[in-house]
Structures are given as C-alpha cells and as structure tokens.
Amino acid sequence: MEIRWSHDFDRELERAREAGKPILLDFSAAPM
Amino acid sequence: MWPHRRVVELVTDELIPVRVHVRDHADEFRRLGDRYDARWTPMILVLDSSGEERHRVEGFLPVDELVPQLEFGLGRVAFSRGDFEDAERRFRQIVEDAPASDVAPEALYWAGVARYKSTDDAEALKATASAFHDRYQETTWAKKASVWD
C-alpha cells in the first residue's frame, strides 16, 4: 500500500481546481 | 512515514499527492520552492484547490504526529473556504483522536473559532477558553484563548 505520487504539479493543480480537492505538496530529498 | 497505512488512506482519500524531489525534479523543485518559499526538506504543504497554501510542516514527523498535522491542514482548507462546520468537525476529531499530538492545542483553539464563525455565538469562544482550563494550559493556544474567559 503506497501513495501514488504525481510529479506534475501544474496538471494536478488543474485537476484540483476541477475537483475542488486539496493538494499535498511534498518537497523531498529522500531516495526515490 | 509515507508507507504507513493511516497516512496512505488519508492522503489517498482526501488529497491529491504531488512530490517534487530536490535532485530528480531539480527545475520543478526550484520553481515551486520559489513559489512557496520552500527552502528545506522534508517539507509538506497542504494547498487548497486553487493552490493557496493553508498549512505547512517543516521537517520530519513520526506517523503519530504527521496524521493529525494532515488532518489539521484539511481543517484549515475547510476553514478558508468558509465551511466552518466541516472545519470544526475536523479540528475536534484531532483533539479526540490525537490529544497528545503537538497540533492538538491549536486544533482545540480553531475548533472554537470555527464554531463561533458558524453560529455567531460568543459562547463558543467562552467554552473554548474553559476547555483550556482542563488541558494544554502551558501552550500558546491556551494563552490566546484566555482573552475569551
């Protein structure tokens, strides 16, 4: 069970606007 | 902390998760870092659906602190869109579910404010000040609420 992170902020912001859903923006330096 | 079941469920159900990595997405990290004044990792921001920052967590937190912080961010999102009943419900849930978490006193404070905003009844603030008599007395939030006594 994992979070399915997106890396396309602009696309997700557009989706958030359409869906009225908030965004969790993670600034990370952890190994991916 | 991210693979933890409670975190995954909360994020998947309530948020759109976006990650920018300092090296793997260096250009995006710089662009969004400038936009949101993000200068350190790990850092998470809860943004409302228009991209406005409503809550930020700087530095690592264990799961027991991270979950209430995410819930708190969702409460702030609800508060900012004027849905004070939803905001109050979320803030009170934090106090109930994670009373020992660092964010719980702040959640108790904002639960009172949200109740006041939804009812226009100053008793909501007075009741909040009273609630701080029994808990979190040494916190900034108890001091802030003391003006309502």
Interface confidence (ipTM) of the complex: 0.96
Instruction: Compute chain B's Rg from CA coordinates.
Output: 17
Which residue segments constitute the domains of chain B, with CATH numbers given? 5-148 (1.25.40.10)
**Long-range contacts from B113-119, C-beta under 8 angstroms, 24+ separation:** B113/B79, B114/B75, B114/B79, B114/B84, B114/B85, B114/B87, B114/B88, B115/B84, B115/B88, B117/B79, B117/B84, B118/B84, B118/B85, B118/B88
Q: Assess A1–B contact: CB distance below 8 Å, yes or no.
A: yes
Which residue among B8, B25, B77 sits closest to A22, beta carbon to beta carbon?
Answer: B77
One digit per residue, the tens of pLDDT, for chain B of length 149 reads 677 999 999 999 999 999 999 999 999 999 999 999 999 999 999 999 999 999 999 999 999 999 999 999 999 999 999 999 999 999 999 999 999 999 999 999 999 999 999 999 999 999 999 999 999 999 999 999 999 99
Minimal CA separation from B53 to chain A, in Å: 9
Query: Mind telling me how many Å the CA of A32 is from chain B's nearest CA?
Result: 8
Report pTM.
0.96
B27-30 long-range contacts, CB within 8 A, separation 24+:
B28/A7, B28/A9, B29/A27
Query: Is A10 within 8 Å of chain B by CB?
Result: no
